[in-house]
């Protein structure tokens, strides 16, 4: 039986990128890593809200449900959680540069206040994605 949460593991890439990998979320289809901005956002939330977000991410590995994960513009996706009347989003992208393992990289999160995901949040995720691949040395 899979664990849902174990611990954060601090890992560094070339340059300024470091991220935290939830060891639990090393799943059948992909592993999910949280960049520093995503972790900082999660740390601002109460424990029950964080657990709900992590549970939804864990659940999304087997279920193709747009209520849990949805493609936005270009290469950016959002993990979606509705909890206690709040719409919480973690934006992410796919890293398929390693032939053995696919990564989903969570860039940052926010509490959604409008019906559409703000373009500025998508642009921020795309900018982080571009920098990530630039520093990683791949695309």
- Pick out the chain residues at pLDDT < 70: 1-29, 138-139
What pLDDT is attached to residue 18? 52
Per-residue pLDDT at 6: 36
Query: What pTM was estimated for this model as a whole?
Result: 0.79
- pLDDT score at 28: 58
The beta strand positions in the chain, using DSSP E, are: 8-12, 18-26, 31-35, 69-71, 77-83, 86-95, 103-112
């Amino acid at each position: 039986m899979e664990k849902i949460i174990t611990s954060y593991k601090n890992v560094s890439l070339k340059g300024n990128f470091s991220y935290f990998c939830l060891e639990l979320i090393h799943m059948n289809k992909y592993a999910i890593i949280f960049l520093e901005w995503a972790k900082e956002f999660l740390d601002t939330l109460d424990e029950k809200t964080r657990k709900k977000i992590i549970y939804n991410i864990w659940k999304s590995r087997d279920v193709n449900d747009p209520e849990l994960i949805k493609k936005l513009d270009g290469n950016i996706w959002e993990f979606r959680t509705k909890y206690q009347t709040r719409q919480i989003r973690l934006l992410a992208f796919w890293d398929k540069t390693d032939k053995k393992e696919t990564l989903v990289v969570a860039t940052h999160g926010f509490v959604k206040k409008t019906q559409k995901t703000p373009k500025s949040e998508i642009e921020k995720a795309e900018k982080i994605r571009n920098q990530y691949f630039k520093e990683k040395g791949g695309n």
